[in-house]
């Protein structure tokens, strides 16, 4: 069994040993030849008619031929010739000198050479031949076939002794074959094991253990294999993957990665490369397809993933950020192209929705600027380079400011004023969420006494809270403590969270919201209508205010469907007991339509822009509607 199992390795091992021995033989053969010549000379001058002179000369000649033909002859032949000559020498010693120690030494040496370095079968055959050769001399002399007077006396041969010697030698040969081959099998086994380990190490170095997909190194190697490749390189990652791990646990995170990997494999075509290029980042390389087909296939893939996730009842909706680039290896290396796809992917991330972005030079410029801003954000938070502006919320019914929304502003060196539309998404994907959020809460709470004086004691103050900050471990505790320490009544505060936060983490949100409301804070659902607008979520959540996104308000008057949609949102207010705020009201026309639809609270440039606390109130009176 073992013997069969190791057959391939043994022959590979034999070949390796032969290769090593070849160099040694090339040195030993001339040494053996010269030694044989020396012995022949020595014997010739001392015992002139000794037949071994001829034999040594013959041996030396053979060695000279082997040496001359060393480049042509295979090592196996060289070993076989040396073994045969050694055996013949042994036989000659027996023939001329009788059964001496020297003759046996030659027999053993020749067997060792063949059994040790050639294959098992040639070892067995050779040992068999040498065992047969041993009794030939006594048999031949007994039968009178050979007669070497003066050197050898056949009468001295005891047949029993010869028989015993032959049997002992045969036994020795068997033991030799067994021992050497057991050693060989064991060596082969350990070589096999080492090779398996090596294979596993190579596999680990090139494959991701969790998903079985090739890793980044393999991906780059595959793309670089054939020079001057051209094709589409796509990189994508899962939005909010760290939230999956922290809220649902690593097992759920792993499950998600495996589903994605399976779908990648299922959607892959023969000549395409795919890989897991980072912790939650995947790569796909494809040639011979158009950009349109590429986008269509990416969408198909995403659909496939959603289906699979539904099947396993995955607790979240998964969105991808995708970046892609047309890779031309005549101008760009695989690494550079991956970097470009990565830049596009990062920009796709800042778009806020599942987005597929193609790399171009403008995208790179925007990315570099974002990177610089990210680096400036942390010291900016520490140095308090931020301040708050407040935008009024006006009630039509009482023609009065009933609240303000706090909006952060950043005066950044060297860029000047940076819009929150730029820095908020960057903060949200950094680890600065909590630091920034807590700073905003501090700034707003410090301003509240002045705000109440400026706009009236009964106004509310709205603060935008990012999803990660809202769901963070100590958010509620911090908020309650800060309010207490600064003497602020929680009922003054409205916390604005986006619809997106709700959909991604419904259960956690329900819990956090109920705790906050118990503590006296109010909750507003911001940007309603931009995300998935699932009205079913509204039934689950206790919110105090719903803010219709300004993109709807903007399209009022243009699109009758928007009017119908806003009307149906407003109709919910009685059933759910929340107030409705229309955001981004800029024109009198929008205001008139909203008023007709039954909306009472407005926020927008028509009434007031966000202004710093020190500036005078802007609120203009309501326009009179006809």
For binding to Ca ion (CB under 5 A), which residues are involved?
Answer: 464, 496, 526-527, 583
Stretch that binds ligand C2E, among 98-106, 358-366, 462-470, 572-580 (CB under 6 A): 462-470
Rounded Cα distance between 485 and 363, Å, is: 46
Farthest-apart Cα atoms in the chain, separation: 148
Rounded Cα distance between 542 and 577, Å, is: 9
Tracing tokens 């949609």 back to the chain, one arrives at: 565
513 sits near ligand C2E (criterion: CB under 6 A): no
- Binders of ligand C2E among residues 183 to 212 (CB under 6 A) are none
Min dist CB 577 to ligand C2E, Å, is: 23
Q: List the x/- string, 289-318, binding to ligand C2E by CB under 6 A.
A: ------------------------------
Asked whether the CA dihedral 105, 87, 92, 49 is positive or negative, the reply is: negative
Distance from CA of residue 51 to its chain's centroid?
Answer: 76
**Structure-token pair, residue 466:** 């990012």
Min dist CB 598 to ligand C2E, Å, is: 20
543 binds, among Ca ion, ligand C2E, none (CB under 5 to 8 A by kind): none
Rounded Cα distance between 511 and 503, Å, is: 14
383 sits near ligand C2E (criterion: CB under 6 A): no
Rounded Cα distance between 80 and 466, Å, is: 83
Nearer to Ca ion, 222 or 464 (CB): 464
**Can you tell me whether residue 409 is helix, strand or coil?**
strand
Rounded Cα distance between 422 and 372, Å, is: 12
Find out whether 236 and 345 touch, Cβ atoms under 8 Å. Answer: yes
Min dist CB 496 to Ca ion, Å, is: 4
Nearer to ligand C2E, 315 or 420 (CB): 420
Strands 611-612 and 230-238: unpaired
Nearer to Ca ion, 92 or 606 (CB): 606
Nearer to ligand C2E, 237 or 428 (CB): 428
Rounded Cα distance between 459 and 222, Å, is: 63
Rounded Cα distance between 281 and 436, Å, is: 27
392 sits near ligand C2E (criterion: CB under 6 A): no
Q: List the x/- string, 422-451, binding to ligand C2E by CB under 6 A.
A: --x---------------x-----------
350 sits near ligand C2E (criterion: CB under 6 A): no
**Structure-token pair, residue 314:** 């995955």
Alpha-helical (H) ranges within 430-543 are: 433-455, 467-470, 475-486, 499-504, 506-518, 535-540
Stretch that binds ligand C2E, among 99-107, 271-279, 459-467, 470-478 (CB under 6 A): 459-467
Instruction: Produce one character per residue of 351-378: b if its CB has 16 or more CB atoms within 10 Å, e if not.
Output: ebebbbbbbeeebeebbeebeebeebbe
Nearer to Ca ion, 256 or 407 (CB): 407
584 sits near ligand C2E (criterion: CB under 6 A): yes
Stretch that binds ligand C2E, among 23-31, 149-157, 166-174, 579-587 (CB under 6 A): 579-587
Tracing tokens 């090592």 back to the chain, one arrives at: 75
599 sits near ligand C2E (criterion: CB under 6 A): no
Nearer to Ca ion, 106 or 523 (CB): 523
Nearer to ligand C2E, 233 or 582 (CB): 582
226 binds, among Ca ion, ligand C2E, none (CB under 5 to 8 A by kind): none
421 sits near ligand C2E (criterion: CB under 6 A): yes
Tracing tokens 């203009």 back to the chain, one arrives at: 620
Nearer to ligand C2E, 87 or 606 (CB): 606
546 sits near ligand C2E (criterion: CB under 6 A): no
259 binds, among ligand C2E, Ca ion, none (CB under 5 to 8 A by kind): none
Nearest-5° Cα angle at 84, 79 to 88: 150
Q: Which residues fall within 8 angstroms of residue 83, CB to CB, at 6 or more apart?
A: 110, 111, 113, 114, 126
Find out whether 229 and 287 touch, Cβ atoms under 8 Å. Answer: yes
Rounded Cα distance between 40 and 47, Å, is: 10
Min dist CB 340 to ligand C2E, Å, is: 29
460 binds, among Ca ion, ligand C2E, none (CB under 5 to 8 A by kind): none
Q: Which one of 555, 586, 619, 623 is in contact with ligand C2E (CB under 6 A)? A: 586
586 binds, among Ca ion, ligand C2E, none (CB under 5 to 8 A by kind): ligand C2E
Q: List the x/- string, 550-569, binding to ligand C2E by CB under 6 A.
A: x-------------------
Stretch that binds ligand C2E, among 69-77, 132-140, 263-271, 464-472 (CB under 6 A): 464-472
407 sits near ligand C2E (criterion: CB under 6 A): yes
- Alpha carbon of 133 to those of 63, 84, 228, 585: distances in Å? 23, 12, 67, 114
Q: Which one of 91, 346, 526, 600 is in contact with ligand C2E (CB under 6 A)? A: 526
Nearer to ligand C2E, 61 or 588 (CB): 588
Strands 460-464 and 400-412: parallel
Strands 611-612 and 601-602: unpaired
Measured from the Cβ of residue 586, the count of other Cβ atoms closer than 10 Å reads: 14
580 sits near ligand C2E (criterion: CB under 6 A): no
Nearer to ligand C2E, 213 or 441 (CB): 441
Min dist CB 583 to ligand C2E, Å, is: 6
Q: Which one of 605, 611, 618, 619 is in contact with ligand C2E (CB under 6 A)? A: 605
524 sits near ligand C2E (criterion: CB under 6 A): no
Alpha-helical (H) ranges within 351-429 are: 361-382, 420-429
- Please work out the total of residues on this chain that contact ligand C2E, with binding judged by CB under 6 A: 22
Tracing tokens 């912790």 back to the chain, one arrives at: 279
Residue 119 phi/psi, 5-degree rounding, is -70, 165
Footprint of ligand C2E on this chain (CB under 6 A)?
391, 407-408, 419-421, 424, 440, 464-466, 526-527, 550, 583-586, 603-605, 610
């Amino acid at each position: 069994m073992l013997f069969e199992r190791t057959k391939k390795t043994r022959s590979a091992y034999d070949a390796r040993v032969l290769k090593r021995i070849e160099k040694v033989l090339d040195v030993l053969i001339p040494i053996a030849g010269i030694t044989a010549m020396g012995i022949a000379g020595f014997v010739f001058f001392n015992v002139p008619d000794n037949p071994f002179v001829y034999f040594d000369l013959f041996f030396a000649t053979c060695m000279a031929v082997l040496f001359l033909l060393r480049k042509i002859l295979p090592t196996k032949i060289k070993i076989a010739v040396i073994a045969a000559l050694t055996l013949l020498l042994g036989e000659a010693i027996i023939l001329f000198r009788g059964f001496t120690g020297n003759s046996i030494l030659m027999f053993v040496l020749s067997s060792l050479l063949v059994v040790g370095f050639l294959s098992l079968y040639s070892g067995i055959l050779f040992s068999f031949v040498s065992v047969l050769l041993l009794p030939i001399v006594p048999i031949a002399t007994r039968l009178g076939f050979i007669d070497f007077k003066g050197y050898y006396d056949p009468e001295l041969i005891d047949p029993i002794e010869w028989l015993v010697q032959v049997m002992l030698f045969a036994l020795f040969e068997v033991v030799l074959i067994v021992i050497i081959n057991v050693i060989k099998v064991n060596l082969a086994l350990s070589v096999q094991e080492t090779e398996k380990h090596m294979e596993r190490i190579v596999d680990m170095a090139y494959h991701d253990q969790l998903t079985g997909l090739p890793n980044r190194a393999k991906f780059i190697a595959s793309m670089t294999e054939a020079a001057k490749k051209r094709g589409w390189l796509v990189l994508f990652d899962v939005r909010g993957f760290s939230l999956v791990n922290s809220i649902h646990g690593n097992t759920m995170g792993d499950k998600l990665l495996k589903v994605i990997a399976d779908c990648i494999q299922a959607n892959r075509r023969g000549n395409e490369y795919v890989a897991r290029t980072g912790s939650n980042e995947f790569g796909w390389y494809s040639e011979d397809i158009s950009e349109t087909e590429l986008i269509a296939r990416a969408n198909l893939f995403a659909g496939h993933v959603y289906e699979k996730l539904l099947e396993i009842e995955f607790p979240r909706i998964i969105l991808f950020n995708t970046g892609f680039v047309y890779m031309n290896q005549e101008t760009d290396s695989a690494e550079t192209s991956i970097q470009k796809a990565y830049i596009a992917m990062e920009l796709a991330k800042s778009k806020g929705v599942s987005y597929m972005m193609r790399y171009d030079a403008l995208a790179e410029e925007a990315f570099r600027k974002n990177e610089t801003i990210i680096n400036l954000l942390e010291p900016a938070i520490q140095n308090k380079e931020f301040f708050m502006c407040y935008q009024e919320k006006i009630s039509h019914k009482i023609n009065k400011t009933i609240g303000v929304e706090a909006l952060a502003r950043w005066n950044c060196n060297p860029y000047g004023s940076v819009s929150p539309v730029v820095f908020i998404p960057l903060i949200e994907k950094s680890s600065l969420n909590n630091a920034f959020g807590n700073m905003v809460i501090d700034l707003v709470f410090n301003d509240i006494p002045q705000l109440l004086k400026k706009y009236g004691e009964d106004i509310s103050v709205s603060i935008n809270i990012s999803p990660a900050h809202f769901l963070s471990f100590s958010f509620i505790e911090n908020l309650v403590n800060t309010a207490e320490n600064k003497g602020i009544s929680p009922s003054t505060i409205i916390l604005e969270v986006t619809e997106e936060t709700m959909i991604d983490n419904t259960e956690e949100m329900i819990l956090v919201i109920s705790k906050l409301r118990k503590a006296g804070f109010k909750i507003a659902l911001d940007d309603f209508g931009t995300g998935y607008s699932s009205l079913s979520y509204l039934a689950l959540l206790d919110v105090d205010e719903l803010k219709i996104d300004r993109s709807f308000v903007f399209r009022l008057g243009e699109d009758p469907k928007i009017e119908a949609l806003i009307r149906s949102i407003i109709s919910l207010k009685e059933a759910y007991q929340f107030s409705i705020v229309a955001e981004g009201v800029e024109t009198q026309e929008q205001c008139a339509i909203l008023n007709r639809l039954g909306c009472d609270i407005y926020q927008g440039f028509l009434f007031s822009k966000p202004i710093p606390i020190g500036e005078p109130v802007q609120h203009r009176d309501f326009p009179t509607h006809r």
